[in-house]
């Protein structure tokens, strides 16, 4: 049989080696041949190692969108997939009469303010959670607008990162139509869950932003970032 190896060493240049083992694996009858990249590629093409018929499977890492089974652009996304994103999570509203949060079956067709909470339930650092949020936000911008997303994505939000057992985040998002928000909510949740499987989410409409802010900064160690911070630090 033939086994293909790629060897990287400090004392030798990158090379490709095909080891032909004749007979038993324990045999000393082993022939080693070195090839340059061009010759090596010719050989693996002849052997079918790059073809769909080959049993050889590349261990290439899947992209984020492949992991969540979603195209990287909304223009390539089916209506069913978009609807699925919008229905991933419920939105709540506080009922002052019953003094509890209740699920909204239908959101009013107007711009609204939302309070979002995401908890990865893992030992993530504050910086890592902040960077993950920014990464997902940038992916979302590209998902909507492609290469010009920085020109067109205009989100009005504040981010609060708090630690209770583990770091989690709260978002105050302002002036979004329900359909636009539900897409963002589902997209953020799906991508965050792809990175941290135990992620949970909760969202409700904001009745009084001052009360919501007081809730988000109830701990002295809470960090606050506005949208301008992430524009300045877009990477």
Residues 107 and 172 in one domain: yes
Residues 74 and 143 in one domain: yes
- pLDDT of res. 9: 46
Residue 53 belongs to a domain: no
Residues 33 and 97 in one domain: no
Residues 128 and 204 in one domain: yes
Residues 148 and 184 in one domain: yes
Percent of the chain with pLDDT over 70: 72
Which structural domain range is residue 77 located in?
64-232
Residues 83 and 43 in one domain: no
Residue 54 belongs to a domain: no
- pLDDT of res. 40: 58
Percent of the chain with pLDDT over 90: 66
Residues 17 and 95 in one domain: no
> What mean pLDDT, rounded, does the chain reach?
82
- The model's pLDDT over 96-123, given as tens digits with 9 standing for 90+, comes to 999 999 999 999 999 999 999 999 999 9
To the question of pTM greater than 0.85 for the whole model, the response is: no
Residues 32 and 70 in one domain: no
Residue 58 belongs to a domain: no
How many folded domains does the chain comprise?
2
Residues 201 and 110 in one domain: yes
Residue 52 belongs to a domain: no
The Cα–Cα gap between 104 and 113 comes to 14
Of the listed ranges 59-68, 168-177, 199-208, 217-226, the one predicted with least confidence: 59-68
- The model's pLDDT over 137-153, given as tens digits with 9 standing for 90+, comes to 999 999 999 999 999 99
- pLDDT of res. 68: 83
Q: Are 74 and 34 in contact (CB under 8 A)?
A: no
Residues 40 and 141 in one domain: no
Residues 87 and 156 in one domain: yes
Q: Are 92 and 102 in contact (CB under 8 A)?
A: yes
Residue 191 belongs to a domain: yes
Residues 92 and 20 in one domain: no
């Amino acid at each position: 049989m033939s086994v293909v190896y790629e060897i990287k060493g400090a004392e030798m240049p990158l090379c490709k080696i095909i080891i032909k083992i004749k007979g038993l694996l324990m045999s000393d009858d082993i022939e080693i041949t070195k090839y340059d990249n061009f010759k090596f590629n010719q050989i693996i093409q002849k052997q079918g190692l790059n073809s769909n018929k080959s049993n050889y499977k590349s261990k290439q890492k899947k992209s984020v969108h492949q992991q969540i089974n979603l195209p990287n652009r909304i223009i390539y996304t089916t209506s069913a997939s978009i609807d699925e994103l919008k229905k991933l999570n419920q939105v709540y509203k506080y009922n002052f009469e019953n003094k509890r949060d209740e699920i909204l079956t239908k959101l009013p067709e107007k711009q609204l303010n939302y309070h979002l909470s995401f908890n990865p339930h893992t030992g993530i650092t504050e910086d890592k959670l902040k960077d993950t949020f920014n990464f997902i936000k940038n992916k979302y911008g590209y998902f909507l607008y492609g290469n010009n997303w920085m020109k067109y994505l205009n989100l009005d939000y504040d981010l609060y990162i708090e630690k209770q057992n583990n770091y989690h985040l709260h978002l105050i998002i302002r002036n979004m139509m329900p359909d636009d928000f539900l897409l963002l909510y589902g997209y953020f949740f799906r991508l965050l869950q792809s990175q941290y499987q135990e992620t949970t989410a909760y969202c409700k409409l904001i009745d009084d932003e001052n009360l919501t802010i007081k809730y988000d900064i109830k701990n002295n160690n809470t960090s606050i970032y506005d949208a301008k911070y992430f524009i300045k630090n877009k990477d």
